[in-house]
Amino acid sequence: MRILISNDDGVTAPGLAALHAALVDYAECVVIAPDQDKSGASSSLTLDRPLHPQTLANGFISLNGTPTDCVHLGLNGLLAQTPDMVVSGINLGANLGDDVLYSGTVAAALEGRFLGNTSLAFSLLSRQPDNLPTAAYIARRLVEAQSRLQLPPRTVLNVNIPNLPLEHIRGIQLTRLGHRARAAAPTKVVNPRGKEGYWIAVAGDAEDGGPGTDFHAVMQGYVSITPLQLDRTFNDAFEQLDGWLEGLL
């Protein structure tokens, strides 16, 4: 098994090192990660300049691009052998509900969707690294178990881990995505030379976070696993749209 590891917090992030350390004696691991924090990059590709991979002293490959660039190159020619599986993270911070739209952590996993093995995205519900060992242990267990998993291609597992020591984790729950409320307005700032700008605010709170959702599971101390698929077609809208389009053209 050859595993391509990436993230969106950047190649020097502690979550990336923790994930690599958890998997390195299980499989042949290659790390390709952005040279800076690309959180919020979603599935963006860099098309306006060339990408330059740089191998660091620890063997990780740093790329001046996005998480999707990293996995895209990793699966399409950069490596001597194509990886079998993509694992992303461990992100410091939740990727719950609407977060998956913006998440570079989830995006890196999604870029592995053509592989036979289901890609995994891992996020810890903390900006601090204290409970990374919890997340790393769970990542290792799930990556090992993945060999028994037969999901269709273009499926990703979005895994969120509560910010707890391992002995306080109550188990694993399969969940659906909840929803967040709208974020607060961006904060207006002025730089020392008088130029105005905006800091985008943190994500909104859970608005749909009841039982069955990813929000609820992690709040109750469970690891949340939400299976994601690329197809976002809203099949239930077809009937209404059929009526709406009748006689239009």
Flag whether 8 is marked binding.
Answer: yes
In this structure, the strands spanning 196-199 and 187-190 are antiparallel
Q: Nearest CA to 226 among 111, 135, 98, 133? A: 98
Which two structure tokens, joined as six digits, stand for 205? 């709170």
Largest CA distance in the chain: 65
- Residue nearest Mn ion, CB atom distance: 39
> Helix (H, G, I), strand (E, B), or coil: what is residue 159?
strand
Q: Is 35 marked as binding a ligand?
A: no
Q: Which amino acid is at 22?
A: A
39 is in an annotated binding site: yes
Among 3, 6, 9, 30, binds Mn ion (CB under 5 A): 9
Residue span 187-206 as binding mask against Mn ion, x where in contact by CB under 5 A, dash where not: --------------------
Q: Whole-number minimum distance, CB 214 to Mn ion, in Å?
A: 16
State in angstroms the smallest separation of the CB of 91 from Mn ion: 4
Query: Of these, 8, 98, 99, 111, which contacts Mn ion (CB under 5 A)?
Result: 8
Site for Mn ion (CB under 5 A): how many residues? Answer: 4
* Residue 66 and residue 34 in contact, taking contact as beta carbons nearer than 8 Å: yes
CA 123 to centroid of chain Cα atoms: 7
The DSSP bridge partners found for residue 173 are: 224
Q: Which of 62, 68, 91, 173 binds Mn ion (CB under 5 A)?
A: 91
Return the CA Rg of the chain. 19
Which window, 31-39, 68-76, 124-132, 228-236, contacts Mn ion (CB under 5 A)? 31-39
**Chain positions contacting Mn ion, by CB under 5 A:** 8-9, 39, 91
Q: Which residues are annotated as a binding site for a divalent metal cation?
A: 8-9, 39, 91
